Amino acid sequence: MGMKKKDKNSYRKLAYLSSLGLMLPSSIVVGMVMGWLLDKIFKTWPWLFLIFTLFGIISGFYNIIREVSKFDDN
């Protein structure tokens, strides 16, 4: 009982879309860590932390929008 090609494709799409849920939080965490480290180095707390957190949020949403639009084209 092999899976039909249509079923396999549906599972692949579902796995791809579910991975998008990790994209936003991971971008935010990377931005926060980079900002925190730079604030420790330059002693500018909390400015670089806030700026890089904002960059992480923006890049996370940008990546999600880009990937979803790529998915819609297929």
Domains of the chain: which residue ranges? 5-73
What is d(CA 74, CA 63) in angstroms, rounded to the nearest whole number?
17
Cβ proximity of 54 and 34 under 8 Å = no
Selection from 15, 16, 29 nearest residue 60 by Cα: 29
Phi-psi domain of 12 (left: phi exceeds 0; alpha: psi -120 through 50; beta: other): alpha
Q: Is 38 helix (H, G, I), strand (E, B) or coil?
A: helix
73 Cβ contact list (under 8 Å, min separation 6): none
Express each pLDDT in 20-74 by its tens digit.
889 999 999 999 999 999 999 999 999 999 999 999 999 999 999 998 887 766 5
pTM for the whole structure: 0.80
